[in-house]
Structure 1
Amino acid sequence: MTANTAEAGASGTVASGAGRRPLGDFTADRRLLMLAAMAVVVGSGGAGAAWVLIRLITLTTNLVWFGRFDVVSRSLETLSPSAWMVAAPVLGGLVIGLMARFGSEKIRGHGIPEAIEAILIGGSRMSPKVAVLKPISSAISIGTGGPFGAEGPIIMTGGAIGSLFAQFFHLSAAERKTLLVAGAAAGMTAIFGTPVAAVLLAVELLLFEWRPRSFIPVAVAAVTAAGWRPGLFDAGPLFPFSADPNLPWWGLLLCAGLGALAGLQSGLLTKLLYGLEDAFERLPIHWMWWPALGGLGVGLGGLVEPRALGVGYDVIRDLLTGHLLVQAVVTLLVVKALIWLVALSSGTSGGVLAPLLILGGAMGWLAGQVLPGDPGFWALLGMAAMLGGTMRSPLTSVIFAIELTGDWRMLTPLLAACVAAYAVTVLLLKRSILTEKIARRGRHITREYGVDPYELVRVSEVMVEAVDTLPGDLPIPQAVAVLQQGRHRVYPIVEASGRLVGMASRADALAWRVEGGLETQTVAERVSDAALPVAHPDDVVARVVALMLATGQGRIPVTDPATGRLVGLLARKDLLRIHAGTSRAEEERQAYFPAGRRG
């Protein structure tokens, strides 16, 4: 059975016996290769979009703050407080509000929830407006001082590129989703140089599955973007860093403790963010003006700490490797958190990964002043833990931090911190910062992955073997009497040898009575197996579910693939028994070695 259950399930089988292969498998294989080839194009497009977005952000930043029309990266720490520091974010927010009002409302927000929503309820279709307006609005937001990163916008923009490309072809919604996510992963890879983390992010946040049909094309797109990256950006890790923590034997407990602290920080920020969103909702003005109000908060924060403005990659580098003053880091942590919360809750355009890295890193750096080892080590743990707890993606966060720095020795400490942060946020909050926004729009999604029980059970394990049948040579009048008075609505029709020749229902009996003149005919002459859906004992039950959905049949006969003999029947109630067994395995608890029991 391939991952594409619906396609394989509705296509029947070829050959016979143990060597048969579902016809749908060949179709699925061809489509998988096709998607992988398309992913190369989408990955290249995502990498190009990342290059354009970074250049737009840098160009806007230089125009607004330095009066330069170039793409040379400059730090905002050299800015002096002035009235323009307040006016620029307000004007930027006003422009974004106008773009959202008269262009596309989908440019609001930080990108990932919007991508999830497009997948869940939009058939993975994005409009060309989003592909154009999202990077422009993000460049204006960040370039005028918005405390955001480029990753959320590039995930949305790369996803839009993948979706638009997919819409030129006859693809299913699931295949469009794969290319949408491939574009998102490619964009993230191009900006951060983290292909493995980008693929994991796609799995943990966007795909909602782990199947070859989707995983392979997404990985192809990420690898393609990684191949383009040295020519578009600098090669190597974005934040090169190596630290030997020299922890005591119980040092991993300290790592987990820092992770738990990051989880508490994450929970507090999430609560504050949606509290502020509720406050904006109660304002007696149109949402178009909200980003300008958020920009006012950003500008006032910039007067206190200019380095809190913009993407802040230089701040991340300093937290890892620089020599900072405690007072400066405390100020940065407080101001960055406040302006990020105000700006994001106002509905402007920007990403969350870079701010989360700064906030978690500042907290970890401060904790590192009293913990053993380099404060940069604890800053990195705080960054990853903050990301893992807030986005509910611990594996992505571990690999993301390692790929960003190039230090694989940090693997175990990072895992301890990220899992601890994840555990705390799961216990504190029902939903993450990403899914809470979607839930507030009336959409329910689950972020827990599990194996479909119908993919684990074979038909032979649950089918009914003692099947009530009608002989094929039964005259029509007698067959009508049985069908109308029998306890089943549908009966299999079999020959003397046991071979299935068709199915007859009460609706057939009514049609035969109305038609009349069939006294000399047998029931086998009135039914046909030409389009009869059948299953085989070795099929997984998921294939039968696909057959039921495709044909509208509630009872599927099970035949021997070599002889065509009827060997069983599978009905909807049998499927419910599988679900009941799965529920019992989750909920029933018993001790096999209870206390006090003697051998």
Structure 2
Amino acid sequence: MNHRDPRSEDVISIAPSLDVSLRAARMPRRIRALDRRVLRITLLALVLGVIASGVAWALVTLIGLITNLVFYGRFSLTFAAPVTTYLGHWVIVMPVLGGLVIGIMARWGSTAIRGHGIPEAMEQILLNESRIPPRITWLKPLSSAIAIGTGGPFGAEGPIIATGGALGSLMGQVLRVSADERKVLLAAGAAGGMAAIFSAPVSSVLLAIELLLFERRARSLIPVALAAVAATGMRYVLLGSAPVFPMPNVALVTLPALCIYVLVGCLVGFASIGVTRLTYAIEDGFEKLPVHWMWWPAIGGLAVGVIGYVMPATLGVGYTNIDAIIGGRLGLWVLFSLCLLKLASWSIALGSGTSGGTLAPLFTIGGALGGVLGICIATHWPGLGVNPGLAALIGMAAMFAGASRAFMTSVVFAFETTQQPHSLLPLLGGCAAAYLVSGLLMRRTIMTEKIERRGVRVPSEYSDDYLDRIPVGEVSTRNVSSLHASQTVGDVARWLISTDPAARYGGFPVLNDQGAPLGVLMRRTLLDPLQPADARLIDLLHGPLIVVDESHSLREAADHMVDTGADVLIVVASDQPSHMEGILTKADLLNAHERRLRQSGLDRK
């Protein structure tokens, strides 16, 4: 940081000798897409990917153990769905007991275990420099395993994403890294966890970009991508490379069928709005209960148990449900019942503040709805060539796209988990339609509603940095009035209060006899009554010369202003550093933004 003259905070410095000034001049740092620090972060991300795959396997194993103990009375690590059980009416009690344990853990462990994890990770990224409390690394997976293992209608992916993110954050807190690098490690851990659960590395990276990183830069993308690759590679070793949700081969779609699939996506987009609003309406309802929030998960567990007794398929993660839905093995009324009852069970449980994920429930609800629409259309208009299984797959992806606005994640996830290349085109159309409907009719998403209510502003659009593509020379102020080093403060002050239009600027470059820049003095410094009237301007200049090359970008120049504390930068020629081309002010930066608004049409009244 530049140290200014203690007599005035507005002096932007200089040295009296031209040669010394040019040698010591402070230029902006050139922005580079990659540097050597990326290698270190990438190595750490690879380690995180391997660890996240192990944590994912451990979490699934723990869920299987608890499920087997609670619903089947046996000690087994095999993952099992609580569909057939000897408990009878006691099935209603198990989610209540699980909710009670979650409430106790949240009250005396950490309230951060409540919810599905992704909004909480987003909040830590945006407000706390990606610092997640270390205890979340074990409290979140343990609480989620208890919730899901006792029948909670959640997926394991949300907790493992949160846990992987917490591991990355912990690594970034232990090691000496910047807040930006810690964010990358958090995203790498989260992507590794999701990739290990679903064997979907590309969509895991896209999820990190769309919901955690809020950017797409090489220094972020490479570590996160390699973490996902490492986690998926470990999954291949442990579980094989078969698709997570196998389905019958999808044939190339016809144009009429493609139009129907886009319509299905549109309808599911409307449904995603209803699902999001219902979930938070239930959460608001729990807020009004006259009991401590510690008891809410148990109350929500009662609803889960009752619905699970009526339809056991709503209990647990429901991955087998997704298999059956897109495989076309469920009839119309079963799909319809599963859609409504899973929605009721999951929304009540999530609204109660228990611990669990959102991806699998949304996929189940959307897939069942898409399957219902697909069967109805195929039955009444068989000539359109609509495949109910593909309609279910589109409904699954479109529900997540509409509810979360993670558009590309939704498309690629459905493709990666089924490995059906002909599904890509209808998936793209259906998810785009759902995204359009959701974006027009719903301000917030299921991922951002909670934290935006607490005043956290979540980025929703990721575009290139406009300032980074404009050179300084294009917008700098030319033909600006300059001062001579030998002038006195009194002479300049009299000129500044005159009617000369050239005296209107807030800062003025000071030149030597050869016309080379020595520095900048601000208007308020020159008009300061404490400054001696006979003081020469050169005596007010201190520190290194602060300049910017006309070929630098406005982003580099703006960063330079922040770094040095300068209000005005001297712009020098690229081929002749001693020649001043003009000055760059903060007003010039704002004018550049005005051009951006004009080009984008955002300045329309």
Alignment-derived partner of residue 326 in structure 1: 332
Alpha carbons of 1:476 and 1:435: their partners in 2 closer, same or farther (altered >3 Å)? closer
CA change 1:502–1:483 in 2 (3 A) is: farther
Which amino acid in structure 2 is aligned with residue 576 of structure 1? Answer: L
What corresponds to 1:430 in structure 2? 443
In the alignment, residue 187 of structure 1 is paired with which amino acid?
Answer: G
Q: Give the structure 1 partner of residue 511 of structure 2.
A: 494
Q: Which residue of 1 is the match for residue 522 of structure 2?
A: 505
Instruction: Select between 326-335 and 392-401 the one with higher mean Cα deviation.
Output: 326-335
Shift of 1:100: 0.5
Bigger mean CA offset, 414-423 vs 499-508: 499-508
Q: Matched residues in 2 for 1:477 and 1:22: separation?
A: 33
Judged with a 3 Å threshold, the aligned counterparts in structure 2 of structure 1 residues 182 and 246 are, in CA distance, closer, same or farther, namely closer
Whether 1:572 and 2:578 are equivalent positions in the alignment is no
Report whether the alignment pairs 1:281 with 2:287. yes
SS in 2 for 1:450: coil
Of the three residues 141, 164, 172, the one matched with 2:147 is 141
* Partner SS state of residue 118, structure 1: helix
Asked if structure 2 preserves the Cα contact closer than 8 Å seen for 1:245 and 1:374, the reply is no
Counterparts in 2 of 1:542 and 1:100: CA distance versus 1, 3 Å: same
Q: Distance in 2 between matches of 1:437 and 1:513?
A: 53
Instruction: State which of 346, 358, 372 in structure 2 corresponds to 1:366.
Output: 372
Of the three residues 41, 63, 78, the one matched with 1:72 is 78
Structure 1 position 80, deviation (Å): 5.2
Give yes or no for the alignment of 1:259 onto 2:259: no
- Report matched runs for 1:169-180 at 5 Å: 169-180=175-186
With CA pairs under 8 Å and 6+ residues apart, which has the higher RCO, 1 or 2? 2
- For 1:487 and 1:381, the matched residues in 2 are separated by 62
SS in 1 for 2:508: strand
Identity among equivalent pairs (%): 44
In the alignment, which residue of structure 2 is the partner of 1:535? 548
Distance in 2 of aligned mates of 1:504 and 1:230:
65
Aligned residue-pair number: 567
Structure 1 window deviating more from structure 2 (495-504 vs 350-359): it is 495-504
Deviation at 1:81, TM superposition (A): 6.3
Does 2:602 match 1:585? no
Amino acid at match of 2:438: T
Q: What is the CA–CA distance in structure 2 between the aligned matches of 1:246 and 1:346, rounded to whole Å?
A: 44
Q: Tell me by how many angstroms 1:525 deviates.
A: 5.3
Report the more deviating stretch, 204-213 or 530-539: 530-539
1:146-191 C-alpha deviation (Å, 9 max, x unpaired):
0000111111100000000011222221111111111100000011
Structure 2 CA distance for partners of 1:33 and 1:246, relative to 1, 3 Å: closer
Q: CA RMSD in A?
A: 2.4
- Matched-pair contact (CA < 8 Å) for 1:154–1:184: yes
Aligned pairs for 1:338-487 (under 5 A) are 338-370=344-376, 371=378, 372-474=385-487, 478=491, 487=504
DSSP-derived class of the 1:46 partner: helix
Tell me the equivalent position of 1:306. Answer: 312
User: Are 1:245 and 1:373, in contact at CA under 8 Å, matched by a contact in 2?
Assistant: no
SS of match in other structure, 1:128: coil
| Cα distance change on mapping 1:446 and 1:249 into 2, 3 Å | same
**Which moved further from structure 2: 497-506 or 155-164?**
497-506
In structure 2, what residue type is equivalent to 1:253? C
2 CA distance for matches of 1:396 and 1:214? 17
CA displacement at 1:446 relative to structure 2: 3.0
CA distance in 2, matches of 1:99, 1:365: 38
1:282-321 Cα offsets, whole Å, 9 max, x none, are 1111111100000000000011011110001111111122
Shifted more, 255-264 versus 237-246: the winner is 237-246
Compared CA separation, residues 419 and 588, structure 1 to 2 (3 A): closer
Aligned to 2:6: none
The letter for the 1-side match of 2:338 is L
Q: Do 2:265 and 2:395's aligned partners in 1 also have CA atoms closer than 8 Å?
A: yes
Report the AA paired with residue 39 of structure 2: L
1:73-222 to 2 correspondence within 5 Å?
A: 73-79=79-85, 82-222=88-228
Q: Which residue of 2 aligns with 1:596?
A: none
State the distance in 2 between where 1:126 and 1:165 align. 10
Distance in 2 (CA, whole Å) between partners of 1:433 and 1:77 is: 28
Q: 1:444 to 1:313 in 2, by over 3 A?
A: same
Instruction: Indicate if the aligned counterparts of 1:243 and 1:377 stay in contact, CA closer than 8 A.
Output: no
C-alpha offsets along residues 200-239 of structure 1, whole Å, 9 cap, x if unaligned?
1111111111111211111121111122112233322211
Which shifted more, 135-144 or 330-339? 330-339
Paired residues of 2:95 and 2:304 also in contact (CA < 8 A) = yes
Q: Which one-letter code corresponds to 1:288 in the other structure?
A: M
Question: SS where residue 299 of structure 1 aligns?
Answer: helix
**How big is each residue's C-alpha offset from its partner over 1:248-286, in whole Å with a ceiling of 9 and x where there is no partner?**
432211010110111122111111111111110111111
1:320-356 C-alpha deviation (Å, 9 max, x unpaired): 2253233322222221111011001000000011111
Residue 329 of structure 2 aligns to a residue whose secondary structure is: coil
Change (3 A) 1:258 1:506: closer
Could you tell me which residue of structure 2 aligns to residue 232 of structure 1? Answer: 238
Kindly state the Cα deviation for residue 79 of structure 1 after the two structures are TM-superposed.
2.4
Native 8 Å contact 1:246 1:373 kept in 2 = no
Answering whether residue 561 of structure 2 is matched by residue 555 of structure 1, we say no
1:294 to 295, 300, 315: 300
The 10-residue stretch of structure 1 (334-343 or 450-459) with the greater mean CA deviation from structure 2: 450-459
| Structure-1 separation of matches of 2:489 and 2:277 | 70
Counterpart residue type for residue 47 of structure 1: S
Select between 377-386 and 348-357 the one with higher mean Cα deviation. 377-386
Q: Which deviates further from its counterpart, 332-341 or 30-39? A: 30-39
For the structure 1 residues 42 and 533, does the alpha-carbon distance in structure 2 shift closer, same or farther, using more than 3 Å as the test?
A: farther
Equivalents in 1 of 2:496, 2:602: separation in Å? 41
Query: Quick one: distance in 2 between partners of 1:523 and 1:443?
Result: 47
Alignment CA distance shift 1:320-1:477 (3 Å):
closer
Asked if 2 retains the 8 angstrom alpha-carbon contact of 1:483 and 1:489, the reply is no
CA displacement, residues 350-393 of structure 1 (integer Å, 9 cap, x when unaligned): 00111111111111222222323442222111111111111111
Secondary structure class of the residue paired with 2:168: helix
1:469-513 residue CA offsets vs partner (Å, 9 max, x unmatched): 112233566456557875444321112332111223356557896
Contact 1:262 1:360 in 2 (8 A): yes
**Structure 2 gaps, min length 5:** 1-21, 379-384
Query: 1:522-576 deviations in whole A, cap 9, x for unaligned?
Result: 5335524x52321111111111111222222221111124332211111111112
Structure 1 residues 501, 57: CA separation in 2 closer, same or farther (over 3 Å shift)? same
Provide the rounded CA distance (Å) in 2 between the counterparts of 1:483 and 1:169.
53
Letter in 2 for 1:446: P
Counterpart of 1:76 in 2: which secondary structure?
coil
Residues 45-82 of structure 1: CA distance to partner in whole angstroms, max 9, x if unpaired? Answer: 22222112111111111111111222112232222562
The whole-number CA distance in structure 2 between the counterparts of 1:159 and 1:441 is: 21
